[in-house]
Amino acid sequence: MRQTMTISLPQDLLKDIERGVKERGYATKSEYVRDLVREKKEEEFMKLIEKNRKEFKSGKGKVLKSLEELF
């Protein structure tokens, strides 16, 4: 289910969004902003994966013998 959200932006950010829409070929500003949010979520997820990978390499991780051990 989609919901509408209204935000106010300074003129320079609005111009950045409009430029992004044009340069990246989006049909609407909404599509562009949704994609930016998705990209941010993916970036945060990748950082978490890297953090966990480093912890595992440093010996802080646990090797699971089955998926049941996750829960």
Distances in Å between the Cα of 30 and the Cα atoms of 14, 18, 53, 63 are 12, 10, 35, 43
- Supply the pTM of this predicted model: 0.74
pLDDT in tens, 8-39: 999 999 999 999 999 999 999 999 999 999 99
CB atoms within 10 A of CB 32: 21
Give yes or no for a contact between 21 and 28, defined as CB atoms under 8 angstroms apart. yes
Q: What is the DSSP letter of 8?
A: -
- Quick one: pLDDT at residue 71? 77
CA–CA gap between residue 46 and residue 33 (Å, rounded): 20
CA–CA gap between residue 60 and residue 38 (Å, rounded): 30
